[in-house]
Chain A
Amino acid sequence: MLQLSHLSAGYGRTTVVHDVDLQVPDDSVVAVLGHNGAGKTTLLRTVVGLLRPRTGAVLLDGEDVGRLRPSARVRRGLAYVPQGQQAFGQLTARENLQVVADGAGSGAATRTAEALDLFPALRGLLGRRAGLLSGGQRQQLAIARALITGPRLLILDEPTEGIQPSVVAEIEEAILTLTDAGGLSVLLVEQHVGFALAAAERYAVMESGRVVDSGTGGVEREGLVRAAMAL
């Protein structure tokens, strides 16, 4: 599904991500772990097209998409939920979904309904301005919005960061529901090592912009992975 080879990226003169190789096979979940400032978000921003690769390639189904604009990558099956519960704050929750559904072709209505089934609490909030929702509600809205384009690769940047604990469980459950359903690959950036390993088939640990450890997932490996992250 997604293949990164020798990928480097950064801002201005500083290179933040160095020579990263990473694969997300079809229908699988890959977790990227690492401390704050390790370069995880920068890596994802390069994958979705908000940043140009300095070197290396971003391959989507074998096609180099490194020069495509983000919206064009979305049309090729990628969806992105950025860090920080982002929403179109001036628009209502309903409009946040509509604006994506408008351009998502046939089936968008069905997928909108499915996304709302995943987060039933949103149904009662559709008329409200997204900017007035709580962080957790906005994150649920953000995931729902990402699903409306019918992605084959879902990219999540710390989906439960800074969210009240009651909603964290809901969001984690929704992510597991999505990955269990099949037909969807997920690239998940997480600080919660336990959840990441439970959800993922493979993991990679980033440190100072490089992948310093990687392996197969599974909760039983938490100790090992934590040890790798402490290095």
Chain B
Amino acid sequence: MDALYSQLFAGLSVGSVLLLAALGLALTFGQMGVINMAHGEFMMAGAYTAYVVQGAIADAGVSLLVSLPVGFLVGGLLGLLLEVTLISRMYTRPLDTLLVTWGVALVLQQLARDVFGAPNVDVRAPSWLSGAVDVLGLAVPKARLFIIGVAVVSVVALALVLKLTPLGRRIRATVTNRDLAETSGISTRATDRLTFFVGSGLAGVAGVVLTLLGSIGPTLGRNYIVDAFLVVVAGGIGQLRGAVIAAFALGLLQAGIEYTTTASIAKVLVFVVIVAFLQARPQGLVQVRTRSLA
């Protein structure tokens, strides 16, 4: 029973990391149909942002809290730059986008290596996140709880922005019918840029949070990019709700399998399960029409 409970929590924890990594992609890939292979490097940029901010602000707690919005800005601005310079020219050519953003990912990794050096670096966790708290008899690391909290807040904030704000309405209108949006006076170019800014900003936030789980390096993004795409695809492209369910389902699955085998076998098995699932249900968990598949 205890073991099950602890695996359940491990699953939630892995799921919330997956969710944070996938949330931005749910916008840029799910809503806009852009295959941005540099999304993981935006996470990496967010992680290094936390590292840099900690260099400026000695207090680990303050620097973490400052890093979250700054990481959002850094990721967002990188995404905006990428959208304006390259992706905007390739909206009708997804394969070109894939190759070009892959190249950008490699460039960003090298840039990180040049600036911060090849070896991993550490970001100190604040003292109030060290240690564990007792949740129903289980010792749960506080850092894990914090990550789950950030994931929940991010999802709720994004859902509210999409549902209630003018930007959210513009994004949904543009995704539903781009030509109609444009001829209704909505600048779909501006909407694309802002969507990409927000989606990439969320990658930055994910990166900041990842610094709580271990040391960070230039290739941090690589570990997450495939999982993040899997979450969005399995959840049903264009559906936030689907991505949330998929992230936690995958997290639980991975934690469950890991319990009986090893981490790398778990990854392979999860992958197999997803491929099988998508064979049976190619549209993912939740279905909606998107630009890429219109």
User: What is the distance, in angstroms, from B24's C-beta to the closest C-beta of chain A?
Assistant: 21
> Which stretch in A56-64, A87-95, A220-228 binds the other chain?
A87-95
- Chain A positions within 8 Å of B288 at CB level: 90
With a CB–CB cut-off of 8 A, which chain A residues contact B172? 88, 90-91, 95, 99
Does the CB pair A71–B188 fall under 8 Å?
Answer: yes
Stretch at the interface among A11-19, A100-108, A195-203: A100-108
Q: Which of B8-16, B126-134, B178-186 is found at the contact surface with chain A?
A: B178-186
B185 touches A104 (CB 8 A): yes
B187 on the A face (CB < 8 A): yes
List of A residues within 8 angstroms of B173 by Cβ: 88, 91, 95-96, 99
- Can you spell out 25 A-B residue pairs with CB atoms less than 8 angstroms apart? A49-B182, A49-B183, A69-B182, A70-B182, A71-B182, A71-B185, A74-B185, A79-B185, A80-B183, A82-B179, A87-B177, A89-B176, A89-B177, A90-B172, A90-B176, A91-B169, A95-B173, A98-B169, A99-B166, A99-B169, A100-B184, A102-B169, A102-B170, A103-B187, A104-B185
Q: Known contacts being A70-B182, A71-B182, A99-B170, is A88 close to B177, with CB within 8 Å?
A: yes
Closest 3 CB pairs of A and B: A74-B185, A102-B166, A99-B169
B176, B177, B185, B189: the one contacting A100 at CB < 8 Å is B185
Rounded to whole Å, the gap between the CB of A141 and the closest CB of chain B is 12
Q: How far is the CB of A12 from chain B (nearest CB, A)?
A: 14
User: Which residue of A74, A75, A86, A95 contacts B177 across the interface (Cβ within 8 Å)?
Assistant: A86
Given contacts A50-B179, A89-B176, A90-B176, contact A145 B184 (CB under 8 A): yes
Structural contact, A88 and B180, CB atoms closer than 8 A: yes
Q: Mark B173-207, 1 if CB is under 8 A from A, else 0.
A: 10111011111111111000000000000000000
Q: Which residues of B contact A104 (CB under 8 A)?
A: 185
The CA-CA distance from A225 to B188 in the complex, in Å, is 40
Closest partner residue, chain A, to B169 (CB atom):
A99
Does A146 have its Cβ within 8 Å of any Cβ on chain B?
yes
Chain B interfacial positions (CB closer than 8 Å to A): 166, 169-170, 172-173, 175-177, 179-189, 288
- Which chain A residue shows the least CB distance to B185? A74
Q: Nearest CB to that of B163 among chain A residues?
A: A95
B57 to chain A, nearest CB (A): 38
Q: Size of chain A's interface in residues, with CB distance under 8 A? A: 28
Inter-chain CB contacts under 8 Å: number? 79
Cα–Cα distance between A74 and B188 once the two chains are bound (Å): 13
A149 at the interface (CB under 8 A from B): yes
Q: Quick check: is A48 within 8 A (CB to CB) of the other chain?
A: yes
Q: Which residue of the partner chain, among B169, B180, B186, B187, contacts A82 with CB atoms under 8 Å?
A: B180
Q: For B179, list chain A residues within 8 Å (CB).
A: 50, 70, 82
Nearest neighbor of A101 in chain B, beta-carbon distance: B166
A66 to chain B, nearest CB (A): 16
Q: Which residues of B contact A95 (CB under 8 A)?
A: 169, 172-173
Given contact pairs A69-B189, A102-B170, A91 touches B183 in the complex (Cβ within 8 A): no
Cβ-closest chain A residue relative to B184: A100
Q: A98-B169, A99-B169 are in contact. Are A91 and B185 (CB under 8 A)?
A: no
Q: A115 to chain B: closest CB distance in Å? A: 13
**List of B residues within 8 angstroms of A75 by Cβ:** 185
Once A91-B172, A99-B169 are accepted as A-B contacts, the answer to whether A146 and B184 lie under 8 Å apart by CB is yes
Bound complex: CA A50 to CA B180 (Å): 10
* Closest B residue by C-beta to A95: B169
CB distance B189 to A91 under 8 Å?
A: no
Chain B residues lying within 8 Å of A49, measured Cβ to Cβ, are 182-183
Which A-chain residue is minimally distant from B190 (CB atoms)?
A71
Q: How far is the CA of A96 from the CA of B184 in the complex (A)?
A: 10
Q: Name the residue in B175, B185, B188 with the highest tally of chain A Cβ atoms < 10 Å from its Cβ.
A: B185
Chain B residues with Cβ under 8 A from A74's Cβ?
183-185
Known: A90-B175, A91-B172, A104-B185. 6 other contacts (CB 8 A): A71-B185, A74-B185, A98-B166, A99-B172, A100-B184, A103-B170
Give Cα A49–Cα B175 distance, bound, in whole angstroms. 19
In the bound complex, residues from chain A placing their C-beta under 8 Å from that of B183 are 48-50, 70-71, 74, 80, 82
The answer to whether B186 and A103 touch across the interface, beta carbons within 8 angstroms, is yes
A96 contacts which chain B residues (CB < 8 A)?
A: 173
